[in-house]
Structure 1
Amino acid sequence: MSPRAAALLRRAGLGRGTAWAATELRRVDGAVRVAVGAGAVGLVIALVAIAATGPWSGGQRVAERSWAAGRDGAGRTGHTGDTAAGVPPSAPEVLAGLGPGPAPQTGSAVPLPTAQGLDNALSPLFDDPALGAVRTGVVLDAATGRQLYGHDADTPSAPASTTKIATAVAALQSLGADFRIPTTVVPGGAPGSIVLVGGGDPTLTAQPTPPGADPDSNPASLRDLADATARTLKERGWTNVRLSYDTSLYSGPLLRALDVGDNITPVTALMADEGRVDPNSTEAAPRVADPAGSAAQTFAGLLRDRGITVDGNVGPGTAPAGEEARIAEVDSMPLSALVERMLTNSDNDIAEALARQTAISLGKPVSFDGSAQAISQALGKLGLPLAGTTFHDGSGLDRDDRLTAQLLARLLFTAADPGHPQLRPVLSGLPIAGFTGTLSDRFRGSQETTASDAAGLVHAKTGTLTGVNTLAGTVVDADGRLLLFAFMASGTAHADTAVSALDRLASTVTNCGCR
């Protein structure tokens, strides 16, 4: 791999080193075939992004790499290079074709789209009435942060779930990517009593841990906690206990009045499987009314299965403060993995939990209001543009949240900054067009060529409330330039047409060099 190609990949924050990148590219069906010319650079970057980021499951990485590798440049406009005749080269040959020599200066590797070119391409699309009464947007260069296009970019608008980008940045900046959330069992205040203490892990599960599971990518399990608890209790000669549970880490209301339906469970420091009635359900699903009590009852049953008699009723309690060593503990996946899961799946429960962990780290009340204050404070420390913004939660379900397209794009730029490596999961967690999370059914198989042609090359967080549709993330344009964008629409009448209009905006950036 040439130094120039390596510099491109490093600058985009998408590679793990030149040897690794070349190896990954060679792994795709033995020889990756990509389009030739300037546009091929974008595909190479996209392929390495695909290989380097996650989370992944069910062969999605293979599917997406095959899709991106099979593209021949059709429908991508604005290329500056000529397409050579004959069979397209393998990926290593394309990389070599970027040329030897010293790494380029920041921003000089591939051409930038011009402001006029982007304005010509995007401004007519912003006239689409499907985008509602308030429509804002911005496009930035990922390498330099230079604004290339803006449409009322500093006008506050309802962000919906793109709020989760802000929550992710605030949590990672405040806590670090390796932070884990504990769930513990400690001795109670009375003899023979124990307390299950919720630490706020939203991914704690009552399901068994798969054999050989990686703790960095699998949830902590109540079953493992029960195993460790039963073992320690038996070592201490305890076979009969009274069990209570402590959720005092959080304060304030469990839900806002607007939080109805199946999009979120009551926000408590203890829950299992996000309080879903069916633990195997995904996305919006019925929730139990008392997730903490339900998790504690499940834990009591697991102890009984392991030979520990649980006497009496299992109810709320308070753990003694620092009197005895804990009996057992399980820790969540690292914060980096929690952020990826939250963004990919637009998980409201994880978002509210991470907002509260941020509040704890900054000494704010561990509530909706305190979490909102903490997010603003954390972003302010990073020097991000907060004028006109208002946070009321961490998930974006609150319709009174207000962010700007400028802030969303600057959050992504900060996450791409080599000076903030702890923020990289914000980029790696973005859903990928046509393949993962909330973009799995978008940008692919569309009747519009430009929309389907952007599959695999748009990585973006979606946002949807009634009358609100947003999209913010990264694209690789036709010349291989990595760009950041945020498009926001409020007062939309029909979600389907609004989503299509947003997808056209992102696809247009992807499919043109715009000069």
Structure 2
Amino acid sequence: MTETAATTPENTFSPGGRRRHRKPRQNGAGTGFRRALVLALAVPAASGALAGPSAFAAQEGVGTTAKTHDLDADEQQMAKSLKTRILDQRLGSNVSGVVLDADSNTTVWGHHASTALMPASNAKLATSTAALTVLGPQHRFTTKVVYGHGTLTLVGGGDRTLTTAGLAELAKTASAGLKAAGRTTVKVTVDDSLFPEPTLAKGWSDGYYPDTVAPVRALVVDGHGVQDTSIDAGQVFVKQLAVHGVTVTGEVTRATARPTDVPVAQHKSAPLSNIVHTMLKHSDNDIAETLLRMTALGAGRPASFEGGTEVVRHVLSRVYGVSLHNFKLYDGSGLSRADRIPAATLAQILELPAQPRYAHTLGSVLDGLPVSGEAGSTLGPEYGRFDDANSKCAVGKVHAKTGTLTGAIALSGLTQGKDGKWKVFSFVENGATADPNAVKDAMDDLAATVNGCYL
């Protein structure tokens, strides 16, 4: 069997200089943990325990709340400004926020931080953390081609980043094998049985399909937003076979590969760390939902919304001690209007990758955060971010995940404050009636306030 592998650039963002004091439920997040997680989730009692709030929960903010006299002058000014600016009419009345001092694990400022609101795409932070923890940052997804009974079967392995170039390499290798065996005519089927038949998550509208998110299948090419990504990928594969002189008879159909089929080619994705980077930079819903299912499979659970979100809850609460108070998650992308995550919890999740002990596993979460003013990301000028008089001073200084749904806008990330200390922040609003662009401007102003450039 011939193997090809996709590659992408290495991660680069690492704030550094952080010290953490919160103790996790378990140490590390490697192969040993993944074996333990499979065992833990196999026990019904363990799964049932996930329904209740974490013992780390039930507080306004996270960590220790700093008294005013414990804050330096810059932090006092920031907290004073945020207290006023969180009441900006553009943000509406249903808004929450929190700012943590990253080094001391103290809450510098909070406003309804434990109130659970729709997080929109900020939910991808939870999905990324669980995927990297369960599968490992170097994990690669494999797409295979097998042969039997006159048929080539393209077998999906949950690689949402597979491209036509990857299929072309598979077709080239498969064609060479066929010709060596004296065959130039075959049938083609696709096997996407790794995932069950696509369904809607709780809180999803069928209007999401296929533009906002495609039905979640284990086989797709070039991120095509179509109803049946597997058949579509098979058709692209057929075209690539034709380039190499192989004739395909009949239409592409769906079938499960036989155990006796012979492997003839495989393609491996870039490492998971790079896929997470891409997913966060562009807030890719399809990658997020595929990762949720692959994470579930990696932990021995069904490749479903329910299986994936169960594992996310387990990883956050049992491995890292993140609060699940008022936490409700029904998908991997944050498209569900039933999702609820407090700003305090989002801030806790963002604290993790900067801790030295988790940097190797979760570092791509930090590196994947869009940067204020970064073209091509969801905080780029094409989205009108950090371009008003108050926030443009923070261009290049804020690393944050965006979140946007009708009636929900969120911004959670990190920035270095005026005092030189790194701050973790999260702001979430639901139900604001102002123009969404005006709401985003107000959010950017809050982030610039945390940075200290907007006084």
Aligned to 2:227: 289
Q: Is the Cα–Cα contact under 8 Å of residues 280 and 369 in structure 2 kept in the other structure?
A: yes
Q: Is the Cα–Cα contact under 8 Å of residues 444 and 455 in structure 1 kept in the other structure?
A: no
Indicate how the Cα distance of structure 1 residues 239 and 12 shifts in structure 2: closer, same or farther if over 3 A, else same: farther
Choose 1 or 2 for highest CA Rg. Answer: 1
Aligned to 1:508: 449
Q: Is the Cα–Cα contact under 8 Å of residues 159 and 403 in structure 1 kept in the other structure?
A: yes
Aligned to 1:10: 16
**Secondary structure in 2 aligned to 1:489?**
strand
Q: Is the Cα–Cα contact under 8 Å of residues 255 and 267 in structure 1 kept in the other structure?
A: no
TM-score under structure 2 normalisation? 0.79
Aligned to 1:243: 188
| In the alignment, structure 1 residue 351 sits paired with structure 2 residue 357 | no
Distance in 2, matches of 1:113 and 1:503, equals 22
Q: Give 1:145's aligned amino acid.
A: N
Question: Offset of 1:9 from its aligned partner?
Answer: 5.6
Aligned to 1:258: 205
Q: Is the Cα–Cα contact under 8 Å of residues 388 and 441 in structure 2 kept in the other structure?
A: no
Mapping of 1:192-211 within 5 angstroms? 192-206=150-164, 208=165
| In the alignment, structure 1 residue 229 sits paired with structure 2 residue 174 | yes
Indicate how the Cα distance of structure 1 residues 228 and 466 shifts in structure 2: closer, same or farther if over 3 A, else same: same
Distance in 1, matches of 2:126 and 2:385, equals 27
**Secondary structure in 2 aligned to 1:143?**
coil
Aligned to 1:468: 408
Mapping of 1:481-496 within 5 angstroms? 481-493=421-433, 494-496=435-437
TM-score under structure 1 normalisation? 0.71
Q: Is the Cα–Cα contact under 8 Å of residues 385 and 441 in structure 2 kept in the other structure?
A: no
Q: Is the Cα–Cα contact under 8 Å of residues 243 and 314 in structure 1 kept in the other structure?
A: yes
Which of residues 384, 395, 399 in structure 2 aligns to 1:459?
399
Instruction: Indicate the RMSD between aligned Cα atoms, in angstroms.
Output: 2.1
Mapping of 1:180-195 within 5 angstroms? 180-188=140-148, 191-195=149-153
Aligned to 1:268: 217
* CA deviation vs aligned residue, 1:285-312 (integer Å, no higher than 9, x gap): xx32321111101101211221222122
Aligned to 2:39: none
Aligned to 2:67: none
**Secondary structure in 2 aligned to 1:147?**
strand
Q: Give 1:510's aligned amino acid.
A: N
**Secondary structure in 2 aligned to 1:498?**
helix
Q: Is the Cα–Cα contact under 8 Å of residues 174 and 361 in structure 1 kept in the other structure?
A: yes
**Secondary structure in 1 aligned to 2:90?**
helix
Distance in 2, matches of 1:304 and 1:227, equals 10
* CA deviation vs aligned residue, 1:302-355 (integer Å, no higher than 9, x gap): 11221222122210000123x354111001111011001000001001111111
Question: Offset of 1:513 from its aligned partner?
Answer: 10
Which of residues 312, 337, 340 in structure 2 aligns to 1:399?
337
Q: Is the Cα–Cα contact under 8 Å of residues 160 and 220 in structure 2 kept in the other structure?
A: yes
Number of residue pairs the alignment of both structures matches? 382
| In the alignment, structure 1 residue 426 sits paired with structure 2 residue 375 | no
Distance in 2, matches of 1:302 and 1:113, equals 64
Q: Is the Cα–Cα contact under 8 Å of residues 433 and 443 in structure 1 kept in the other structure?
A: no
Which of residues 274, 286, 307 in structure 1 aligns to 2:245?
307
Q: Give 2:361's aligned amino acid.
A: Q
Q: Is the Cα–Cα contact under 8 Å of residues 439 and 462 in structure 1 kept in the other structure?
A: yes
In structure 1, list runs of 5 or more residues that go unmatched: 1-7, 14-110, 209-220, 276-286
Question: Offset of 1:403 from its aligned partner?
Answer: 0.6
**Secondary structure in 2 aligned to 1:204?**
coil
In structure 2, list runs of 5 or more residues that go unmatched: 1-13, 20-70
* CA deviation vs aligned residue, 1:156-175 (integer Å, no higher than 9, x gap): 11000011111111100111
Greater length-normalized contact order (CA 8 Å, ≥ 6 residues apart): 2
Question: Offset of 1:146 from its aligned partner?
Answer: 2.1
Q: Give 1:430's aligned amino acid.
A: L
Q: Is the Cα–Cα contact under 8 Å of residues 75 and 419 in structure 2 kept in the other structure?
A: no
Indicate how the Cα distance of structure 1 residues 184 and 266 shifts in structure 2: closer, same or farther if over 3 A, else same: same
Q: Give 2:294's aligned amino acid.
A: Q
**Secondary structure in 1 aligned to 2:143?**
strand
Question: Offset of 1:124 from its aligned partner?
Answer: 0.5
